Amino acid sequence: MIIKATIQINAPLQRVWDVFSDIANWGDWNPVCRECRFETGNSLVKGSCISFELTPVIIPMRIAPEVNHCEPGRKVVWSGGKMGIHAEHEFFFEENDSGVELISIEHFKGPMLFLAKLLFLPSRLHGLTIRLLDAIKEKAEETSV
């Protein structure tokens, strides 16, 4: 299962990256991921582990992915698993004349994926991804000149 979403952000790349990479402050403006923090490390770099709570269905879940790849302002990949589902989330930052196109691609696999589909999890996760990208856009554009 793959979930993909894209958003155009009218802000400089450095501003978009600063907003995205400041995981410790995501809870201040992010309606999707709550109680965000670094479990290991204190910045978004390969090998660090981040943690946040989200609610894909009724009950909130704590997710703690490890950062597998980080090229500041270009690409971030983190992955982890929960309840028989493994997920890898890629973010791509592409600078253009209007600012930055932020692309989110999530790959899911595992033995419990069939149950996730029965619970309409793909559409719920797509909605959460859209809300996350909208929040990043709003925060980056709010103080952008």
Q: What is the pLDDT of residues 65-97, one digit of tens each?
A: 999 999 999 999 999 887 777 889 999 999 999
Return the amino acid letter for 12: P
The domain in which residue 28 lies consists of 2-142
| Arithmetic mean of pLDDT, 88-115 | 89
How many helices (H) and strands (E) would you count in the chain? 3, 8
* pLDDT tens profile 42-68: 899 999 999 988 776 677 788 899 999
CATH code at position 39 = 3.30.530.20
* Stated pTM of the model: 0.88
CA angle 137, 138, 139 (to 5 degrees): 95
Domain count, the chain: 1
> How sure is the predictor about 145, in pLDDT bands with cuts at 50, 70 and 90?
low
